[in-house]
Amino acid sequence: MTTKPHYLATLLLSGGLLAACGTEAGKETERVNEQMQENREEVAKADDTKEWMNEREEARKEMANLRETLSDRLERERKDLAGGIKNAEKRAETERHITELEQNLARIDANVVRMDGSTNETWSDIEMESRKAMDDTKSWWDRQKDWVDSKTDVDMDNDGK
């Protein structure tokens, strides 16, 4: 008969310990789940940040290349103008071209400044505006190349036009 009280005491103590551990384990599980959710959110945010920063850097490189091309052309046009163009029509044409190049360079510079100040939240709007500005500038540049081809009867840009 003495074993029954021992079994009963063991059973009661085990039940009490399980109940105590069960409550604490639930709180610990909840805390771990919350921490894991926070970690997932931080990783997702880091991925978003990395993604938009990569997109921004790619767009900046593309704009820098376009800017370099236009700057080189502007320098050549200025040298031609400084060299003394005798034909008044050609002089006016060169001056107009210089003005257009300067306007397009200013557009690119303004967009680069906006891109530099962009955040994850503002990037999609700025990217759309920058892409439009870049597309407009490229379109203008292509028209200039086609215009040169038509004036010289030579396909200088090898585009078949």
Tens of pLDDT along 90-100?
889 889 989 99
User: What ranges do the domains of the chain cover?
Assistant: 3-152
pTM metric for this prediction: 0.62
pLDDT in tens, 101-111: 999 899 989 98
Instruction: Classify residue 19 as exposed, middle or buried by CB count within 10 Å of its CB (0-12, 13-18, 19+).
Output: exposed
Type and span of the H or E element at 128: helix 123-152
CB count within 10 Å of CB 156 equals: 11
